[in-house]
Amino acid sequence: TTFIGASFGGIAEMYAQIQKAVGATERVFELLDEQPEAISSTMDSANIEKLKGTVTFKNVAFSYPSRKEIEVLKDVNFDVAFGQKIAIVGPSGAGKSTIASLLLRFYDIEGGPILIDGKNIYEYDLETLRGNMSIVPQDVILFGGTIKENIAYGKPNATNDEIFAAAKQANALNFIESFPEQFETIVGERGIKLSGGQRQRIAIARALLKNPSILILDEATSSLDSESEKLVQEALEILMQGRTSIIIAHRLSTIRTADQILVLDNGIVSEKGTHQELIALENGKYKNLSNLQFTDF
Ligand code: ATP
């Protein structure tokens, strides 16, 4: 998967627009080469239809336009009820991030459909679709501006009180208030450099403010220092409450508490169930994976 830095000029501009639409994502995804639709969209989440947030993938198949010969997803099926937490696990390259990209409509799918609240995602306008979703990526890149602007990005008309409350809930208030300029502190390339955990908490505050029905969480593979990790986890727990969460999961504790785990392998969902159910499968893929791969044993 591709990541971008903050200083590519035109790309940074596109990225800013995507962030505005989506909440926060570091992935250029496909935007660079294939989907002008995805970058022409900006939104103001205040005026869009609020979705409930049930998600269904039905026989979803997909190949990247630049690599048509490889079927990244062959036949992916799952249902996530409103408010559920689903963890997607699987080996590197299995297609976990691709599932998130498709839900955000960064690419057109081949098989399908993908439904939200029972309706094909292609029947929503992009503003509605993305206005109801936030992403908290592994590595959050903030744009060059103040902390306040970075938090308010998904809701440009937010009041100071709302921004403050979101920062507080996201466990970001302490470090923000430790800076002389507080919420007016400039971050990004020319400003104060925040730690990975601090940037994640800014992204969580942004998502809280946007108040999406669907949350896409790309968990960090490498852990933060344990204090920061704890603050981020607490904030994420609050963020996930009352929303549908789709988590590209690397932490066993997340996976254990998920309502449903999808094991993605070779373009299909090879196992589906709770931790208890999957761990009971003799020679199961999940069982093997959990012995090898998850970070917080
Ligand atoms: P990881 O755990 O390493 O992040 P993943 O399960 O999220 O992996 P994806 O990033 O969804 O996997 O990638 C699935 C497959 O699609 C891989 O073979 C990858 O090389 C390919 N792929 C990903 N993004 C693109 C792209 N923009 N263009 C072409 N191929 C891509």
Q: Cα(first)–Cα(last) distance of the chain, in Å?
A: 26
Q: What is the pLDDT, as a whole number, of residue 7?
A: 32
Q: Which of 70-74, 175-179, 218-222, 262-266 has the lowest mean pLDDT?
A: 218-222
Q: Which of 3, 33, 97, 293 to mutate to test the pocket of ligand 1 (most atoms within 8 A of CB)?
A: 97
pLDDT tier, 289 (very low <50, low <70, confident <90, very high otherwise) = confident
**Which of 153, 149, 161, 139 is closest to 185 using CA atoms?**
149
**Ligand 1 atom at minimum distance from 264 CA:** 6
Q: Are 116 and 102 in contact (CB under 8 A)?
A: no
Q: Quick one: pLDDT band at residue 18, thresholds 50, 70, 90?
A: low
Query: Which residues line the pocket of ligand 1, CB cutoff 6 A?
Result: 1, 30, 64, 66-67, 72, 90, 92-98
Identify residue 47 by its one-letter amino acid code.
N
Ligand 1 centroid to Cα of residue 172, in Å, is 32
| Average pLDDT of the residues in 219-225 | 72
d(CA 106, CA 185): 32
175 Cβ contact partners less than 8 Å away, ≥ 6 residues apart: 194, 198, 201
> What tens digit of pLDDT does each residue of 97-143 get?
999 999 999 999 988 899 999 999 999 999 999 999 999 988 888 88
Report which protein residue has its CA nearest ligand 1's atom 27.
30
β-pairing, 55-62 vs 114-116, is: antiparallel
Per-residue pLDDT at 29: 37
21/147 Cα distance (integer angstroms): 18
| Most distant CA atoms of the chain, gap in Å | 57
> Can you tell me the distance from the alpha carbon of 209 to that of 203, in angstroms, rounded to the nearest whole number?
10
Whether 3 has a pLDDT exceeding 90, the answer reads no
Residue 3 Cα to ligand 1 midpoint, Å, equals 12
- Coil, helix or strand at residue 243: coil
Distance of CA 267 from the midpoint of ligand 1 (Å) = 11
Over the stretch 149-192, which tens digit does the pLDDT of each residue have? Answer: 999 988 888 999 999 999 999 999 999 999 999 999 999 888 88
Residue 293's pLDDT is what?
63
Measured from the Cα of 90, ligand 1's closest atom is 6
* Ligand 1 atom at minimum distance from 248 CA: 7
- Can you give the pLDDT at residue 13? 44
The per-residue pLDDT of the chain, averaged, comes to 83
> What is the Cα gyration radius of the chain?
18
Whether the per-residue pLDDT at 44 is higher than 80: the answer is no
State pLDDT tens for residues 181-219: 999 999 988 888 898 889 999 999 999 999 999 999 998
